[in-house]
């Protein structure tokens, strides 16, 4: 109903064009980056959580406009279903968590009925895990783009420094360059195609 709808296509094609060069310059990530024709997906470039063992396509656009970003997201939903079917086929039986009570919260059924588990739950949640000293950056491919966490630890359960790379905040940084020259009626299409969450930007 949308992909070939004449009105939708006319209102999104050649609107809010982000070139490859500008996408890289603004550190845009996720479907917004891939919509500009750059084949970058953390699940492929830096595999984590067994993604290297799953077969899926990294979807890219060509024009970098609102319509391309829409098409990329539609196809990525299909690729997500493809990945999920492979995960379900390979899913082993047994418990879903590693039973290490020092580093995880006990099951809710035990927390609500036994005092020891309730105390342990509060210790894990309030004090955190005993992390070793050092620093690390980890990023994951999220629907909005690269969600990254930089942690600087001096040991203990609370980081000395923490920086969260929120993809919505980064992706919106191109708006001052993207919106001038657009019609007011183009603004909803541009904002919608960037697919941001203001709560994430406020972080």
* Measured distance CA(36)–CA(31) in Å, rounded: 9
**Is residue 108 one of the residues assigned to a domain?**
yes
Lowest mean pLDDT among 19-33, 91-105, 140-154, 176-190: 91-105
Distance from chain centroid for Cα 22: 20
Asked if residue 128 has pLDDT above 80, the reply is: no
pTM attached to this predicted model = 0.83
**Is residue 123 one of the residues assigned to a domain?**
yes
Sequence-distant (6+) residues with CB within 8 A of 85 are none
Q: What percent of the chain has pLDDT over 90?
A: 72
**Is residue 1 one of the residues assigned to a domain?**
no
Q: Supply the mean pLDDT for the chain.
A: 90
| Residue pair 187/150 in contact by the 8 Å Cβ criterion | no
Domain of 52, CATH number, reads 1.10.645.10
**Is residue 185 one of the residues assigned to a domain?**
yes
Instruction: Indicate the number of domains in the chain.
Output: 1
**Is residue 79 one of the residues assigned to a domain?**
yes
**Is residue 167 one of the residues assigned to a domain?**
yes
Full domain range(s) for residue 106: 6-202
Average pLDDT over residues 10-15: 94
**pLDDT tens-digit readout, 17-58:** 999 999 999 999 999 999 999 999 999 999 999 999 999 999
Quote the pLDDT of residue 169: 93
**Is residue 27 one of the residues assigned to a domain?**
yes
């Amino acid at each position: 109903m949308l992909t070939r709808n004449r009105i939708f296509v006319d209102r999104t094609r050649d609107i809010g064009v982000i070139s490859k060069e500008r996408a890289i310059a603004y550190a845009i990530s996720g479907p917004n980056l891939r919509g500009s024709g750059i084949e970058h997906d953390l699940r492929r470039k830096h595999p984590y959580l067994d993604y290297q063992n799953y077969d899926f396509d990294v979807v890219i656009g060509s024009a970098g406009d609102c319509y391309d970003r829409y098409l990329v997201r539609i196809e990525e939903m299909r690729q997500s279903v493809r990945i999920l079917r492979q995960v379900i086929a390979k899913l082993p039986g047994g418990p879903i968590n590693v039973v290490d009570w020092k580093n995880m919260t006990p099951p809710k059924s035990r927390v609500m009925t036994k005092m020891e588990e309730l105390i342990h739950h509060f210790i894990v949640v309030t004090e955190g895990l005993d992390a070793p000293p050092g620093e690390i950056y980890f990023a994951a491919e999220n629907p909005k783009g690269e969600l990254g966490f930089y942690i600087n630890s001096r040991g203990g359960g609370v980081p000395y420094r923490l920086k969260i790379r929120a993809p919505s905040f980064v992706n919106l940084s191109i708006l001052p360059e993207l919106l001038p020259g657009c019609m007011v009626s183009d603004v909803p299409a541009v904002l919608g195609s960037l697919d941001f969450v203001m709560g994430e930007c406020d972080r």
